[in-house]
Amino acid sequence: MDEDFEFPVDTKNVAAEEEMGMDMDDLPEPDPIMKVDEEKEIGKNGIKKKLLKEGEGWEKPNKGDEVEVHYVGTLLDGTQFDSSRDRGTPFKFKLGEGKVITGWDEGIKTMKKGEKSLFTIPPEMAYGESGSPPTIPLNATLQFEVELLSWNSVKDICKDGGIFKKILVEGEGWQNPKDLDEVFVKYEARLEDGTLVSKSDGVEFPVKDGYFCPALAKAVKTMKKGEKVLLTVKPQYAFGDTGKAASGDEGGIPPNATFQINLELISWKIVSEVTNDKKVLKRILKEGEGYDRPNDGALVKVKLMGKLQAGTVFVKKGHDEEEPFEFKIDEEQVIDGLDRAVKKMKKREVALITIQPEYAFGSSDAPQELAVVPGNSTVYYEVELVSFEKEKESWDMNTQEKIEAAGKKKEQGNVLFKSGKYVRASKRYEKAVGFIEYDSSFSDDEKQQAKLLKVSCNLNNAACKLKLKEYQEAAKLCTKVLEIDSKNVKALYRRAQAYIQLVDLELAEFDIKKALEIDPDNRDVKLEYKVLKEKIREYNKKDAQFYGSIFAKMSKLEQSGGAKNMATPMAIDSGGKLRTISSVRAKANSCWAAMVMAVMAGCRRMSTRLASTKVAEAH
């Protein structure tokens, strides 16, 4: 057969498909499970597939991928009209782009690498009524024995045709770099005519900052370690309509130029946010072992070196045959940023930790082991987590151990509260309650101990939340106490304090009155009642001013309408009867006043609720 045989597409079929809005991606996927020598129909267009040899793995090519196949084409009577095997050269084409007959596009997308199948393709999915003289008759049903050798995936990365990625070498694993990560790549960029414009045998850059052109950063976020790709980059992800002047070893790039980049992702360093405000970052220099990490209270052993931005070393521990430095997580034995970062490390992990002043030494000078850290300094620690011993978790404890652990955490919280460290104290109280929250396996005596601990820890935590202005959380904690002990005066008192700050004055008054019923002589509750009454007077005054201004505006409108009414003394009602304007106005004003009075009662209640919401949002 002629070597120029290129599987021309039947234009009638294409036109018909376009009119009908057909797309090969809209067809249902065939049954993926087939046995050798089994034949099944695929899709809804009469194409049959017979599996001759199973393929490898589970992946199949997608639309736009460049596939490589060997094939033998015959008529139903066995007459061969073409064969890539006879030519000794595999056939390559882009799948799903109309480069071959429709039957091929639909059939080959169902194949796996190394698979061999026989496809029987009806004329409407091949060359139609006209055929392809002289080799293929009119209305011919064709058979193709196809072996899928390989394919290169081609992806439209940005879904706008701006960057196409063709995978040349598959990468390892499943992870991709993120914006904060630092990637190490090799690349070579050429214009469409082959002119080299930029090249690097190894460059490192943060993904978010990019390098050379925007396409590099977008592409590496889709790549795996060791992956090699060919990028086709359109001007909008390159240098636009301005181009780029030649500089140094890099050639110039004309305006609106499309070019290709061979890109290899060699490796990357994972950079993660330790704190939500991005003021403590951890860059992994060496991956750790396993998945386990230290918990609060864990004893950790580390090697560390702390440096200033200029490179001055201010602390060095665990190096030069010195024993690793030990400290406990969440016990304030090191600066906050270091404490938080080490908690997110794995055993044997090595990381570079960047800590801004808020989580380091603050605004004042801080003398350290080897140098003074000036105020407002960002510091850098290189840390290796040598080992750690986790604090025992509740599920590893028996019931008595849980009660003892809860008691210890409560005492730690009390010490921190007295020191004004409310955030840390709150965490201790929460941890204490966590140990004893589920008490179904406790004895009666242990349940009573747990009940007392829950009450005291939640009350103390509510006090922390009030100090931290987290009023809704404070109210929730007091409610938990009242579910256990409905006559707990402290819980009623503290919940009332929270409600006052949330401007939920009716609920606050309810709690205070109930507390005074239980303990009429409680001095703190009485003082809080005075505060509440003052708040109520303040809001009543504001309500009066607000509604006074509404009635003043109504009065002005009524006065301005009086002059107009003089000129038009009569009106016609819906029944066609003449009525005086004054009587119409009287009824309207009466309805209006009734409506305003009804709304006022609701508004009074809603105003406190609205203020409460605003306070909550502010905090």
Other beta carbons within 10 angstroms of residue 596's beta carbon come to 14
Q: Please, what is the Cα angle at 25 between 172 and 230, to 5 degrees?
A: 35
Cα→Cα distances 84→13, 56, 602, Å: 25, 22, 84
Contacts of 160 (CB under 8 A, 6+ apart): 236
The 3-state DSSP class for residue 213 equals strand
Q: Which residue has the tokens 């080959």?
A: 108
Cα 237 to Cα 218: distance, rounded to the nearest angstrom: 9
74, 115 contact by CB (below 8 A): no
Q: Which residues pair with 141 in a beta bridge?
A: none
Cα 123 to Cα 76: distance, rounded to the nearest angstrom: 12
Other beta carbons within 10 angstroms of residue 343's beta carbon come to 18
Q: Which residue has the tokens 């009350």?
A: 459
Question: H or E stretch including 457?
Answer: helix 444-467
Q: Choose among 430, 439, 427, 455: nearest CA to 402.
A: 439
- Written as six digits, the tokens of 186 are 């090799």
- Written as six digits, the tokens of 470 are 């987290």
The 3-state DSSP class for residue 619 equals coil
Chain-centroid distance, C-alpha 285? 24
Question: H or E stretch including 557?
Answer: helix 523-567
Cα 246 to Cα 122: distance, rounded to the nearest angstrom: 56
Long-range contact set of residues 477-481: C-beta below 8 Å, sequence gap at least 24: 480/454, 481/454, 481/455
- Written as six digits, the tokens of 465 are 């939340």
233, 215 contact by CB (below 8 A): yes
Alpha helices (H) in 468-522, listed in sequence order = 471-484, 489-501, 505-518
Contacts of 434 (CB under 8 A, 6+ apart): 394
Q: Which residues pair with 186 in a beta bridge?
A: 264
Q: Which residue has the tokens 């801004």?
A: 356
Cα 353 to Cα 283: distance, rounded to the nearest angstrom: 6
Alpha carbons within 13 A on the beta-carbon side of 49: 30
Cα 401 to Cα 424: distance, rounded to the nearest angstrom: 23
From first CA to last CA, the distance across the chain in angstroms is: 80
Cα 69 to Cα 119: distance, rounded to the nearest angstrom: 14
Backbone φ, ψ for residue 487 (5° rounding): -110, 25
Cα 220 to Cα 208: distance, rounded to the nearest angstrom: 11
**Catalytic residue numbers?**
71, 81-82, 101, 127, 144
Cα 233 to Cα 260: distance, rounded to the nearest angstrom: 6
Q: Please, what is the Cα angle at 426 between 422 and 432, to 5 degrees?
A: 145
